[in-house]
Amino acid sequence: MFTFNSPTKIVFGTGSADLAPKELAALGAKKVFIVTGPGKTAVSEPLKAIKAGLDSEGIGYYHFAEAEADPSIATVAKGVALFKKEACDSILAFGGGSPMDCAKGIGVSVAEGRLVEDFIGTGLAFTQPLPPLVAIPTTAGTGSEVTNAAVFSLEAGGQKAKKGTAGTTLFPRLALVDPLLQVSMPGALTAATGMDALTHAAEAYLSSGANPLADIFCLESIRLIGATLHKAYTDGGDLAAREAMARASTLAGIALSQAGLGMVHGFAHAAGALGGLAHGLANAIILPFMMQSYVPVAESRIEAIGRALTGKASISALDSAKAVANLAASLGIPHNLKATGLDEALRDKVFDDAKGYKRRGQSPRLYTDEELYDLYLRIWSGSVKE
């Protein structure tokens, strides 16, 4: 028995972002709380066009352009206060994973009448429907536009941490996935976000929560990434590659909400919170090491990942892990955490935070802390090719 519940309506394709005003009108919106980061997307032409469309529909809006990378609980709280003060009734998230997660945090806090922080690590479940949330991704990686999850930065025990939370109410009502919005992404962002999508698909496929329907999404996502991520990285204007990567990231987001993730994300969240390492970059480095370590327990699944990624009819599991490392290297991504310039003093702190990752139990191979630390030391300064 398995469950597959992916309730977000998806409109996919070039120009789909233009539908936002009419779709928000259909959802009954009278005043939209627009959430973006503070950077270029906040003043981008596509967002201006959406605002003009809202004007035409007679829908008001308030633009909250403060969703920083890895949004903090304080930013979410500020958004909640403004949402209420401005008497908004719906949310439009426009940007990468951070604005989308920030929007989910604001929506869930408004719906539940208490801050999202109260639900992180406490076992408290989300029960109230969010204000209608429309998500428009401008990167191809997070998949947050179709996921039931969000990640926030917070202080825990006097130390920064990145903690995720999940629940059925967090699925956006509508995802408008428009590859045209992703054409302007710089190469490094294309690489990191694309490798995040690959990590979602691979971890969901290897998760103890994997199911046959989610598997289809994972393998197709991996196939698309293997065929097109490098093209999108080297030629950002290649719309066919952007379209394929947008599809891959959405497919992987659907899969991760069904099947879960594993310790690649555990280590990446810790390295992100403590060392400021970009999420996708950390995942790209960690994924091949973890795949290599899972070979004794998940050989045929890792081979399937390798076949999908490389298009080869046959590939060994160890070569599959190397294929992921080679793809990352071709995108200019360092081969271990130390090579990113992370301070050596952070090494054990990152491990200590990561070992408590709430989804650790979904990894296909369950390690003792000592075994996991040995593996982590290789991720820190080793090579998958050793």
Decide whether 136 or 204 has the Cβ nearer to Fe ion.
204
Decide whether 44 or 340 has the Cβ nearer to Fe ion.
340
Decide whether 145 or 196 has the Cβ nearer to Fe ion.
196
The Cα 381–Cα 377 span in angstroms is 6
The piece of 59-67, 81-89, 189-197, 230-238 that touches Fe ion (CB under 5 A) is 189-197
- Rounded to a whole number of angstroms, the minimum distance from the CB of residue 100 to Fe ion is 12
Percent of the chain as helix, strand, coil, to the nearest 5: 60, 10, 30
Q: Per DSSP, what are the bridge partners of residue 156? A: 159
- Rounded to a whole number of angstroms, the minimum distance from the CB of residue 263 to Fe ion is 13
Residue 196, interface with Fe ion (CB under 5 A)?
Answer: yes
- Rounded to a whole number of angstroms, the minimum distance from the CB of residue 29 to Fe ion is 29
The piece of 1-9, 26-34, 107-115, 193-201 that touches Fe ion (CB under 5 A) is 193-201
DSSP SS3 for 322: helix
How many alpha carbons lie under 13 Å from residue 231 in its C-beta half-sphere? 14
Instruction: Please report where in the chains the tokens 């950077």 appear, as a residue.
Output: 39
Please give the size of the binding site for Fe ion, defined by CB under 5 A. Answer: 1
Radius of gyration of the chain (CA): 20
- Rounded to a whole number of angstroms, the minimum distance from the CB of residue 347 to Fe ion is 22
- What is the footprint of Fe ion within residues 358-377 (CB under 5 A)? none
Amino acid at site 322? K
Decide whether 196 or 353 has the Cβ nearer to Fe ion.
196
CB atoms within 10 A of CB 111: 16
Residue 101, interface with Fe ion (CB under 5 A)?
Answer: no
Which H or E run contains 269? helix 263-275
Q: Cβ neighbours of residue 336 under 8 Å, at least 6 residues apart?
A: 285, 378, 379, 380, 381, 382, 383
Based on the number of CB atoms within 10 Å of its own CB, is 239 exposed (0-12), middle (13-18) or buried (19 or more)? middle
The piece of 19-27, 188-196, 246-254, 311-319 that touches Fe ion (CB under 5 A) is 188-196
How many alpha carbons lie under 13 Å from residue 97 in its C-beta half-sphere? 26
- Rounded to a whole number of angstroms, the minimum distance from the CB of residue 196 to Fe ion is 4
How many alpha carbons lie under 13 Å from residue 166 in its C-beta half-sphere? 15
Angle between helices 212-234 and 187-206 (to 10 degrees): 160
Decide whether 70 or 196 has the Cβ nearer to Fe ion.
196
Decide whether 178 or 196 has the Cβ nearer to Fe ion.
196
The piece of 59-67, 191-199, 202-210, 340-348 that touches Fe ion (CB under 5 A) is 191-199
The piece of 44-52, 174-182, 192-200, 373-381 that touches Fe ion (CB under 5 A) is 192-200
The piece of 84-92, 163-171, 194-202, 315-323 that touches Fe ion (CB under 5 A) is 194-202
In the complex, residue closest to Fe ion by CB: 196
Decide whether 46 or 266 has the Cβ nearer to Fe ion.
266
Tokens of 60: 């008001």
Decide whether 59 or 201 has the Cβ nearer to Fe ion.
201
Which stretches of the chain bind Fe ion, using CB under 5 A?
196
